[in-house]
Amino acid sequence: MLNGARQPTELPEPWSPAQATERIRWIAGCEHLEFALAKHAENQMKERNISTPDVLYVLKNGFTYNNPESATQQGYFKYEIQCTTPNSDRRTVNIIVVPSMQPVAVKIITVMWDDENMFGG
C-alpha cells in the first residue's frame, strides 16, 4: 500500500476504461510518484491557465471513458482521463496520460478543456 489504498491487481495493458480509472487514480495518489510533463502539455497548461495541482486533481479524481491508444513507446498506452476541478469554473479538464505501475509513474502528454475544438487547441 503505497498511498494508503490497496494496490490494484496487476493486469497487462491495455486496460479497460474502468480498469484505467482505478489504476490511474491509484498511481496519482502514490507518495513516490514519478511525474513527467511533456513540453507540449506544459505549454498547453500555461495557455489555458491550468495548474499542476489541477492536473493532479484530475488524475486522482477523474474518469476514463474511452479505450486507450498505443503510445509511441512499445508496450505503453495513452489514456484520456477527465473531470472538473475546484479551479476550472465547472469546465471539464481532459488529460492524455501514459501511466506505469512499475515504476509508479505518469507522463502527461496533453492538457486541454473538454469544450475546446480538438484541432484548434
The tens digit of pLDDT for each residue in 82-108 reads: 999 999 999 999 999 999 998 999 999
How high is the pLDDT of residue 113? Answer: 97
pTM higher than 0.85, yes or no? yes
Determine contact, residues 97/40, Cβ cutoff 8 Å. no
The tens digit of pLDDT for each residue in 38-87 reads: 999 999 999 999 999 999 999 999 999 999 999 999 999 999 999 999 99
CATH architecture of 17-113: 2-Layer Sandwich (3.30)
Angle between helices 17-28 and 52-61 (to 10 degrees): 130
Task: Say if residue 10's pLDDT is above 90.
Answer: no
For residue 28, what is its C-alpha cell?
A: 496519482
Domain range list for the chain: 17-113
Average pLDDT rounded to a whole number, residues 18-44: 96
How high is the pLDDT of residue 90? Answer: 94
How high is the pLDDT of residue 25? Answer: 97
How high is the pLDDT of residue 5? Answer: 65
Q: How many helices (H) and strands (E) does the chain have?
A: 3, 5
